[in-house]
Structure 1
Amino acid sequence: MSENAVEITCANCGGKDFEYPSDPQPDDVVTCTGCGASATYKEIIDAAEAQIVDQLKKDIGDIFS
């Protein structure tokens, strides 16, 4: 089985650098340093969880292929 990582990128510019509090809470704002786009920490975590679920479905499907 291969190792996978979830990479968080800005949906607007593809940037990978963000400003966020040291102990982010769900309603805290995370801002892309490249373009200034922002989202809540919860929105970003939800998007990452969706990526993980999609990857698991793919990996599990590959096991039975």
Structure 2
Amino acid sequence: MFGPKIRNVFKSRWHALFWAASMLVTAYCSIPSADDGGSDDAVTQFATNVAAHAGEQNAGHKNPWAKDPAPN
């Protein structure tokens, strides 16, 4: 793995502070901003299409592990 070994990270307070700061910067840089816009519509449309397609596939599906209905 990249970076320092885990046993050396907390060797001192400064090492721990640097490690924690680097984790916060990584999280901050990896999350997209809310101002990007436009992507929510695409995500919603994609989710709707996937849900509709899954409904079509499962219409005739029977669970092979389901118990048989009890006789009357």
- Per the normalisation by structure 2, the TM-score is 0.36
In terms of fraction of residues, the more strand-rich structure is 1
Question: TM-score, normalised to structure 1's length?
Answer: 0.39
